[in-house]
Structure 1
Amino acid sequence: MKYKNPVISGFHPDPSICKVGENFFLVTSSFEYFPGIPIFQSKNLVNWEQIGHVLTREAQLPLKREHSFIPSQGIFAPTIRYHKGRFYVITTNITIRKTFYVWAEHPEGPWSDPIFIDGFRGYDPSLFFDDNDKVYITGASFPGAGPEGIFQAELDIDSGKMISESQFVWEGTGGSSPEGPHLYKINDWYYLLVAEGGTEYGHMVTIARSRKPYGPFESNPHNPILSNRSTKLPIQATGHADLIQASDGTWWAVFLGFRPVKSTKVHHLGRETNLAAVEWSEEGWPVIGENGRAKVEHDAKLLLVNEPTPWLERDDFNCESLATVWNFYRNPLESSWSLTEQQGFLTLYGQSCTLNDLESPTFVGRRQQHFNCEVSTLMEFSPTEEGEEAGLTVFMNENYHYDIAKMIQKGQTIILFRCRVGSLWKVVKEILYDEPSVVLKIKATDTSFTFSYATPTGEEKVIGSGETSLLSTQIAGGFTGLYFGLYATGNGKCSTAPAHFDYFQYVPGQE
């Protein structure tokens, strides 16, 4: 039987995995989206179900921007581990430049308040629980905080205090940005798995081993053990892996990779979670995938692969809480959104800030997970004050997004299509529209977005289009992927008119 990569599509980078009983649990980076760190569960490594988020409270995940020079802040590269009845997730919040971990007895939570690790000057932290109950924290050094590479210290897991000095343990094989380390003990060897080459086309996975946790580490003479660099394979930038052993004794790796648009060589869905088998050489070195290459289709071996869960195309907002696929951009203002103000609707109140600002806008979004898809929403919105606006956006970050919206301008209500691409900002088209309700739609292909609107019973009218490449990571920067978002703003003041969204529909097309 075969399975296809990615096993979790759309913006789900830096996967980390653990196994408890017959269940696998996986977390990924979330950067500035809230709640943070989506957590997934699977019984076969291929079919994954999101069961929640690890960081669900602002006290766990403050995202207020202090600096704007980094395009993606927030949560970088979490690691999940299980030890003596507790799940642990360790990560770095780049916004506040602090490393911490949280713990829970159940993967769906509740998760503890953060336990900060003072004196840890790095990112991409990982935990390793040794046989003798010693706990190690392994991480990559911040630029300027010492030699570039991987360092390690012993940790008191109850208090979060480092109980040894940090030791530099490996510089990698010479690739740029050695990061994303994980330490394992397998057959009396300590293996140190590392990502190198930067999280772009040169990305790769390398490994070293030692008889002691602090080394000296011997580099695998056949490194890298995974990389799709210098190939034309559909998945590129493969790296940042984590190893796991299944109950049948087979070994597997989860890792990130992106799918570039063939005609442009850029990508906009973000880095995704992929899976490949791991084989061990007679000398005791692992190789990931097919001789170190990751493909779209792989042999499932003994994994009992199921048919994927049917895609839920429509959210009618009939629950008292948002489905796990939804996120806010940074910490939301509680009064800016509601699922109970008007039953069966998501209600948004625009704040003074817009999608262009470094504050937290009124925004509820979900990842784009398919190149070809259609999304639509029925919005009831009757703005009364100049500048009040609500609509639907394709959003990469505050400097790169396309919006279709209804707003009041010079006393008239209009439907507009607007592009924000770096410093270039343009309202492409405006149409007078005085109906209280409107259906907004986006049709996506691998190279373009087409925006249209209609009355609830009327004919659909196209208002504009935009290239996917202009919202790609290579142009927009940062480490995320695209979101489809419902939003509202007062454009400089708080809105008094609510925007009610009756549903959100996401229909995947053929890939």
Structure 2
Amino acid sequence: MADQRQPGTTVANPVIPGFHPDPSICRVGADYYLACSSFEYFPGVPVFHSHDLVHWTQIGNALDRPSQLRLPPDTPASGGIYAPTLRHHDGRFWLIVTNVSDGGNLLVTTTDPAGPWSDPVRLPGVAGIDPDLAWDENGDCWCTTAGIGQVRIDPHTGRTVGPAHRLWSGTPGVGCPEAPHLYRVGDYWYLLIAEGGTERGHGVSIARGSTPTGPFEPCPANPILTHRSSDHPIQNTGHADLVQAPDDSWWMVLLGVRPHGGSPGWHVIGREVFLAPVRWVDGWPVVGDLSLALPAPGWPLRPGPVLPRRDDFDLSGIHPHWISPRDRPEQHYGTKERAGWLTLHARGGSLDDPDVVFLGRRQQHLSCRVRTLIDPSAGRGGLAVRFDEPHHYEIEAGSGEVRVLARIGPLRTTVASRPVPAGPLVLGIQVTATRTAAEGRTGPDTLSLGVEEPDGAFTVLATLDGRYLSTEVAGGFTGRVIGMYASAGTVHFDWFDYEPLNP
């Protein structure tokens, strides 16, 4: 990797923007692979590849078949898939993860991280969430979970071997020890954890011991990373994983958020993946500065968008970056019925319903413009920004009319409407981040929803406050997802375009 570095360049964080929480990373040769949580969305556990830790490409999803991922209809928003650990051992990739809505912990494997991955091995004897995998020099496999507890397992069968035991409960008085990762580095086994909760008090701490089962001695400098009680532009930093580069340098990937607006600060696109340098001092890791422009002399280029900007739906299948709530039955989603178009057949009647037919992508930029060409002649549907069932904005077309709808908690209203000629039309949503907080109640951004006129001009029908589609209002662990939906009949979409804008 050293030969790729160009002195004087910087890395812009986040390296994977948007709703990609709980990153776990491993390296095989010169290649890095990273997986994230996906919660109530199908397919589950996006998998990324990089050659330099900066430029990441999504290559698939680890759980992309109903036989691997069952999210029952009553799966709540922010339920489903929690906190994977991705490792490479004995020539295979291993991914362990928790489905909190269906059976708990499971493990899948592959020789190609782009997939397909195996059907899951269930782990009924492993309690808790945030499972980790580590193999010792004897070949024994240790599974460590939030709490922090540990049990030896047979990863091929899912059976536990011996009793579970407690390892370390983190820093006294901080609470919420979670996200454990166990590593052998030099003479010690290191136990990295998150603690303090995944909100503003989040942080990363570490302990070490002579065996994978402990006892563990906490680092005297804990937490080794936190932005709690600071005015840093990146907050909620935690749930980290470590990786060593081919040049023997060490790096940390972690989640964080970028709050905007006034008090208390709203983050709207979820928890994102950040990168920080690590050096070892007296046998302990020291994490370097983490900022929106992370100083990293010798590192290549700045990252660009990690997902495709435009989809013309010319492929026979659906690109892996598209996600849907809970499931994606083939009879409701497809690109073959009308060549070059995405076809959606309605099921639920609106985005209020858990079985709505919705195909979206994560919002990855604080300011962006999204457009789609829709043909609603045989149904009704549109373009939506979804947070969860009680929190979403959309512009919907059908029956010669377009209307802007808003759902905020128990309130649902038609904000604006206007007639439109029959036939296809372009719908658009522009998200504009707040530049400065004029006063304490300034929201994080605005969302302008409208239609594109035949001459190309964009007519805004309504501009809405973005704070109501934020974690601080809606709660939970996800972020905004922007996409297309059908609420009645059959709706076709010719293309979808996502354009990042400068904030």
- The bucket for the TM-score relative to the shorter chain is over 0.9
Partners of 1:392 and 1:485 within 8 A in 2: yes
Partners of 2:148 and 2:167 within 8 A in 1: yes
Q: Which residue of 1 aligns with 2:5?
A: none
User: In the aligned structure 2, how far is the partner of 1:401 from the partner of 1:307?
Assistant: 29
User: In the aligned structure 1, how far is the partner of 2:462 from the partner of 2:60?
Assistant: 36
1:188 aligns with 2:187: yes
| Structure 1 gaps, min length 5 | 141-148
Task: Choose from 357, 377, 393 the match for 2:384.
Answer: 393
Report the CA distance between 1:96 and its aligned residue. Answer: 1.3
CA distances 1:296-339 after superposition (whole Å, capped 9, x unpaired): 22233454447647974321111111222211111112211210
The correspondence of residues 332-343 of structure 1 with structure 2, limited to 5 A, is 332-343=328-339
Q: Which residue of 2 aligns with 1:62?
A: 70
Structure 1 letter corresponding to 2:407: R
Partners of 1:44 and 1:305 within 8 A in 2: no
Task: Choose from 102, 118, 127 the match for 1:121.
Answer: 127
State the secondary structure of the residue aligned to 1:163: strand
The correspondence of residues 93-492 of structure 1 with structure 2, limited to 5 A, is 93-140=99-146, 149-174=147-172, 175-264=174-263, 265-282=265-282, 284-290=283-289, 294-305=290-301, 308=304, 312-358=308-354, 360-383=355-378, 388-408=379-399, 413-446=400-433, 447-457=445-455, 459-490=457-488
Report the CA distance between 1:389 and its aligned residue. Answer: 2.1
Moved more, 395-404 or 423-432: 423-432
Partners of 1:32 and 1:330 within 8 A in 2: yes
1:509 aligns with 2:501: yes
CA distances 1:166-194 after superposition (whole Å, capped 9, x unpaired): 10111110322110000111112111100
User: In the aligned structure 2, how far is the partner of 1:216 from the partner of 1:309?
Assistant: 44
Structure 1 letter corresponding to 2:39: F
Partners of 2:404 and 2:416 within 8 A in 1: yes
User: Share of identical aligned residues, percent?
Assistant: 43
Q: Which residue of 1 aligns with 2:436?
A: none
User: In the aligned structure 1, how far is the partner of 2:302 from the partner of 2:360?
Assistant: 29
State the secondary structure of the residue aligned to 1:474: helix
Task: Choose from 45, 54, 66 the match for 1:46.
Answer: 54
User: In the aligned structure 1, how far is the partner of 2:21 from the partner of 2:169?
Assistant: 23
Report the CA distance between 1:65 and its aligned residue. Answer: 3.4
State the secondary structure of the residue aligned to 2:129: strand
Partners of 2:55 and 2:306 within 8 A in 1: no
Structure 2 letter corresponding to 1:382: S
User: In the aligned structure 2, how far is the partner of 1:507 from the partner of 1:449?
Assistant: 14
State the secondary structure of the residue aligned to 1:170: coil
Report the CA distance between 1:124 and its aligned residue. Answer: 0.4
Rate the CA distance shift 1:167–1:483 in 2: closer, same or farther, 3 A: same
Partners of 2:54 and 2:303 within 8 A in 1: no
Partners of 2:107 and 2:155 within 8 A in 1: no
Report the CA distance between 1:132 and its aligned residue. Answer: 1.4
User: In the aligned structure 2, how far is the partner of 1:79 from the partner of 1:310?
Assistant: 21
* Alpha-carbon RMSD: 1.6
User: In the aligned structure 2, how far is the partner of 1:186 from the partner of 1:489?
Assistant: 54
State the secondary structure of the residue aligned to 2:226: coil
Rate the CA distance shift 1:352–1:200 in 2: closer, same or farther, 3 A: closer
Rate the CA distance shift 1:510–1:241 in 2: closer, same or farther, 3 A: same
User: In the aligned structure 1, how far is the partner of 2:141 from the partner of 2:187?
Assistant: 17
State the secondary structure of the residue aligned to 1:341: coil
Partners of 2:453 and 2:459 within 8 A in 1: no
CA distances 1:48-100 after superposition (whole Å, capped 9, x unpaired): 111111111011110113464xx411110000000011000000001114100
User: In the aligned structure 1, how far is the partner of 2:298 from the partner of 2:309?
Assistant: 31
State the secondary structure of the residue aligned to 1:382: strand
State the secondary structure of the residue aligned to 2:417: strand
State the secondary structure of the residue aligned to 2:502: coil
Rate the CA distance shift 1:219–1:177 in 2: closer, same or farther, 3 A: same
State the secondary structure of the residue aligned to 1:480: coil
CA distances 1:19-44 after superposition (whole Å, capped 9, x unpaired): 10110100011111111111111111
User: In the aligned structure 2, how far is the partner of 1:35 from the partner of 1:321?
Assistant: 13
Partners of 2:307 and 2:321 within 8 A in 1: no
Partners of 1:437 and 1:455 within 8 A in 2: no
Rate the CA distance shift 1:197–1:151 in 2: closer, same or farther, 3 A: same
State the secondary structure of the residue aligned to 1:444: strand
User: In the aligned structure 2, how far is the partner of 1:193 from the partner of 1:245?
Assistant: 15
The correspondence of residues 64-83 of structure 1 with structure 2, limited to 5 A, is 64-66=72-74, 68=76, 71-83=77-89
CA distances 1:416-445 after superposition (whole Å, capped 9, x unpaired): 101000101111112122321111000111
Structure 1 letter corresponding to 2:138: N
Rate the CA distance shift 1:261–1:310 in 2: closer, same or farther, 3 A: closer
Report the CA distance between 1:458 and its aligned residue. Answer: 5.7
Report the CA distance between 1:17 and its aligned residue. Answer: 0.3
Structure 2 letter corresponding to 1:416: R
Structure 1 letter corresponding to 2:274: N
Q: How many aligned residue pairs are there?
A: 482
Question: TM-score when scaled to structure 2?
Answer: 0.93
State the secondary structure of the residue aligned to 1:124: coil
Structure 2 letter corresponding to 1:428: V
Partners of 1:234 and 1:295 within 8 A in 2: yes
Report the CA distance between 1:16 and its aligned residue. Answer: 0.3
Report the CA distance between 1:353 and its aligned residue. Answer: 4.2
User: In the aligned structure 1, how far is the partner of 2:26 from the partner of 2:357?
Assistant: 35
User: In the aligned structure 1, how far is the partner of 2:454 from the partner of 2:92?
Assistant: 50
Structure 2 letter corresponding to 1:90: I
Partners of 2:58 and 2:307 within 8 A in 1: no
